[in-house]
C-alpha cells in the first residue's frame, strides 16, 4: 500500500520510466487522467508518482484510495503547493531512468509514453514531447480550445499545430533523461508560471536536444470560464517576462504582439482627448475587432453557433490578459520590494 510518503511500499520491479504528475484540486479530472496513465502500454516496468499540493476538493483522498490497490502508484506531499516545487519533489523521488510529466487535467493515449521513451532510447534526442490538443466541455471551454489549437490564438508555439517532427525549444508533457534533469538542479521555484519553458531553455543550453513528434498527441483540458482563463493568461504573461529577464536569449518576437496591442489601447485611451491619441485608439481597436470577427469565422465555422459566438471573447481574454501580465511584470519588479511570486500567484 502506497498512500503517502511514509507508507510502506509494495515490492515491485525497478521501473525504467517514472510518470510524474503535479496536481492540486483536480478531483473532477484526476480519475480519468490516472486511468489513462496507468493504462500506458510499456514493455518495461513503470511507476506513477503524484505530488499533491494540499488539495481541498477530495483529490488527496481519492489518490489515497487508488494507491491502496495499485502498487505502481505512489502519492507524495507538496506542502508548498506550487508546480515547480512539485516537480522538484517528484524528480527527487523518481526511480526511473526516464521522467515523463503528465498533468491531472490531461488524457494521454495508451502509446503516448512508450513512443516518447522510444525516441530517448534511440539516442536521437535527450527530451521529447508530442502535440497538445486542447479540449473543452462548455461552449466557452470549446471556444477556448479552438483558440489554443490555432496560430491565431497561440502564435508559433509549435507543439499546438506542427505536422513534421523537428527539434524545438519547448514541448508540453515531455519525457526527459532523469539524470540530466537532476544535473540541472530541477525547476526554478521562483517561477509560478513558465517554469517548464525556462527549464527547457536550460536543458537545451546544457546540450539536450528537444524533439517534437506531432504524431504523438495528448488531450489537454482548458479553462472553462472567462475568469479562470483570464487569471491563467495574466500569470502566463507576467511570468513570461520574468523568465525572459533571466534568459534574454529565449526571446521570441511573437511575445511582443499581445503587450503591443494592450499598450496601444491604453495609450490611445489615455490620450483620447488629443487627436493623435484618439486616432491610435480607433485604429488599434478597429483592427483588433476586425481580427476577432475574422477569427470567429475562421475558427468557428465548423462549430455550433454557441461555440463560434464565444471565440472572440476567448481570443480577447487570451491575448489581452497575457499582454497585460507581460506589461505589469517589469513594473512589479521595479517598484515592489524584491520579487513577490506569492502576490501574483494569488490573483
- What are 260-305's pLDDT values in tens digits? 999 999 999 999 999 999 999 999 999 999 999 998 899 988 889 9
Q: Has residue 199 been placed in a domain?
A: no
CB atoms within 10 A of CB 285: 15
Q: Which residue, of 56, 88, 106, is where some domain finishes?
A: 106
Domain final residue pick, 67, 84, 106: 106
Whether 201 maps to a domain, the answer reads: no
Task: Report how far residue 70's alpha carbon sits from residue 194's, in angstroms, rounded to the nearest whole number.
Answer: 32
| Angle between helix 226-246 and 311-335 (nearest 10) | 40
Of 266, 258, 253, the C-alpha closest to 238 is 258
What are 134's three cell numbers?
486542447
Q: What is the pLDDT of residue 336?
A: 62
Would residue 125 count as lying in a domain?
A: no
Backbone angles phi, psi at 36, to 5 degrees: -65, -40
Q: Is residue 184 situated within a structural domain?
A: no
Instruction: Examine residue 58 and state whether it is found in any structural domain, yes or no.
Output: yes
Q: What is the pLDDT of residue 4?
A: 44
Domain annotation covers residue 212 = no
pLDDT digits (tens, 9 = 90+) for 202-243: 999 999 999 999 999 989 889 999 999 999 999 999 999 988
Angle made by CA atoms 96, 99, 100, in degrees to the nearest 5:
130
User: Which pLDDT score, from 0 to 100, does residue 343 have?
Assistant: 38
Domain closes at, from 59, 76, 106: 106
Span 83-132, pLDDT tens digits: 999 999 999 999 999 999 999 888 899 999 999 999 999 999 999 999 88
Residue 157 lies in a domain: no
Task: Quote the domain boundaries for residue 51.
Answer: 1-106
| C-alpha cell read off for 170 | 519547448
Residue 1 has pLDDT above 50, yes or no: no
Question: pLDDT: is 202 or 347 the higher one?
Answer: 202
CATH number, domain at 55?
3.90.550.10
Structural domain total, the chain: 2
320 lies in some domain: yes
pLDDT at residue number 156: 65
Q: What is the pLDDT of residue 340?
A: 44
Amino acid at each position: 500500500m502506497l498512500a503517502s510518503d511514509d507508507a510502506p511500499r509494495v515490492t515491485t520491479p525497478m521501473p525504467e520510466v517514472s510518470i510524474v504528475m503535479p496536481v492540486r484540486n483536480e478531483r473532477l479530472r484526476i480519475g480519468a487522467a490516472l486511468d489513462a496513465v496507468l493504462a500506458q502500454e510499456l514493455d518495461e516496468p513503470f511507476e506513477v508518482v503524484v505530488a499533491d499540493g494540499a488539495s481541498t476538493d477530495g483529490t488527496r483522498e481519492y489518490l489515497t484510495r487508488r494507491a491502496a490497490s495499485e502498487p505502481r502508484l505512489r502519492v507524495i506531499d507538496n506542502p508548498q503547493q506550487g508546480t515547480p516545487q512539485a516537480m522538484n519533489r517528484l524528480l527527487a523521488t523518481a526511480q526511473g531512468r526516464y521522467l515523463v510529466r503528465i498533468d491531472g487535467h490531461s488524457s494521454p493515449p495508451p502509446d503516448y509514453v512508450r513512443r516518447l521513451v522510444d525516441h530517448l532510447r534511440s539516442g536521437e534526442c535527450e527530451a521529447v514531447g508530442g502535440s497538445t490538443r486542447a479540449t473543452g466541455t462548455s461552449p466557452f471551454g470549446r471556444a477556448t480550445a479552438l483558440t489554443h489549437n490555432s496560430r491565431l490564438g497561440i502564435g508559433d508555439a509549435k507543439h499546438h499545430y506542427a505536422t513534421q517532427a523537428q527539434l524545438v525549444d519547448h514541448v508540453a508533457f515531455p519525457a526527459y533523461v532523469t539524470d540530466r534533469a537532476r544535473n540541472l538542479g530541477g525547476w526554478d521555484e521562483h517561477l509560478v508560471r513558465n517554469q517548464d519553458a525556462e527549464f527547457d531553455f536550460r536543458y537545451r543550453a546544457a546540450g539536450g536536444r528537444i524533439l517534437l513528434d506531432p504524431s504523438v498527441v495528448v488531450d489537454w483540458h482548458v479553462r472553462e470560464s472567462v475568469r479562470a482563463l483570464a487569471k491563467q493568461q495574466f500569470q502566463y504573461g507576467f511570468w513570461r517576462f520574468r523568465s525572459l529577464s533571466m534568459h534574454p536569449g529565449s526571446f521570441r518576437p511573437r511575445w511582443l504582439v499581445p503587450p503591443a496591442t494592450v499598450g496601444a489601447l491604453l495609450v490611445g485611451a489615455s490620450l483620447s482627448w488629443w487627436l493623435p491619441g484618439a486616432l491610435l485608439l480607433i485604429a488599434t481597436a478597429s483592427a483588433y475587432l476586425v481580427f476577432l470577427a475574422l477569427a470567429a469565422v475562421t475558427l468557428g465555422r465548423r462549430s455550433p453557433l454557441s461555440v463560434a459566438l464565444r471565440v472572440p471573447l476567448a481570443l480577447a481574454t487570451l491575448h489581452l490578459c497575457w499582454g497585460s501580465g507581460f506589461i505589469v511584470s517589469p513594473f512589479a519588479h521595479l517598484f515592489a520590494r524584491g520579487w513577490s511570486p506569492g502576490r501574483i500567484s494569488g490573483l
